[in-house]
Amino acid sequence: MGRLFAVISGGEWPEREAVEEVLARAEAIIACDSGMLWARQNDVFPQYLVGDMDSVDGETLAYFVHQGAQTERLSPYKDETDTEEGVALALHLGAEEIALIGGTGKRLDHSLGNLHVMYRLLKKDVPCVLEGREERVFCTRSLLPLLGMEGHTISVLPLFEDCQVSLHGFRYPLDHYDYRCGRTIGVSNVALENRAMVEIHQGSAFVFVNRVRIPDPQG
């Protein structure tokens, strides 16, 4: 495992308990704009604050500055989102792995933008996981073990390029399936084992793991 940095984005956030391991292992925490709200509500103290500060109140910003957080205030007339700037800062500081906390929710454009950021990180060989409220999202082009996920709904989608995929330990397994963009065959599968695996032989894919274990109607 490499140097992990946690980047708290806007959107709908997970419960703190769901990301305790991430927070404990993170070398540094970067809060992006409204991500500071979640950080304060959950007694998380970021070392860095990034954003144009249009979605956070002045009291919360001042609270973290008083705690010693370094601030990078961005122009509202910028080309990148606050989250992308937070990820760029993490890479500049030497991150070898990144966990995005939040990043999905009502703004579909922002959610898709964050998936683009994950895809770009994959191309840089920087592992990234997105910790959303309802789901954990991975972007992979190799073997992805999903430990302890028996009974969870899992979807696999080739959002940006075609891929060849095998699914091991799933209700609906695949073996070197040529998965084309625009198809939905990988949506709402179910892990049947505590060591289910997604294996990408060519290309890349996103893997969405629903946080809630759904009872198996066939079991």
Residue-wise pLDDT tens digits, 1-12: 789 999 999 999
Closest CA to 144 of 124, 131, 129: 129
Strand partners, 196: 146
Q: Tokens 């891929």 label which residue?
A: 163
Predicted local confidence at residue 75, as pLDDT: 84
pLDDT at 192 over 80: yes
Which one-letter DSSP state was computed for residue 15? P
Q: Is the pLDDT of residue 217 over 70?
A: no
Average pLDDT, the chain: 94
Across the strands, what pairs with 8?
A: 31, 101
CA–CA dist 206, 166 (Å, integer): 13
Query: What residues does 128 pair with on adjacent strands?
Result: 98
Q: Is the pLDDT of residue 219 over 80?
A: no
pLDDT computed for residue 76 by the predictor: 82
Q: How confident is the model at residue 216 (pLDDT cuts 50, 70, 90)?
A: low
pLDDT in tens, 50-107: 998 888 888 999 999 999 999 999 888 888 999 999 999 999 999 999 999 999 998 9
Pair 33, 50: CB distance under 8 Å: yes
115 has a pLDDT exceeding 80 = yes
List C-alpha distances in Å: 99 to 102, 136, 150, 162, 202. Answer: 10, 10, 23, 25, 24
Angle between helices 82-92 and 108-123 (to 10 degrees): 20
**pLDDT higher for 47 or 195?**
47
- Token pair of 92 as six digits: 């500049």
Question: What is the side-by-side order of every strand in the sheet holding 143-147?
Answer: 143-147, 195-202, 163-168, 174-179
Residue 213 has pLDDT above 90, yes or no: no
> What distance in Å separates the CA atoms of residue 193 and residue 178, rounded to the nearest whole number?
24
162-187 mean pLDDT:
97
pLDDT for 17-48, tens place per residue? 999 999 999 999 999 999 999 999 999 999 99
pTM of the model: 0.93
Residues forming a β-bridge with 100: 7, 130
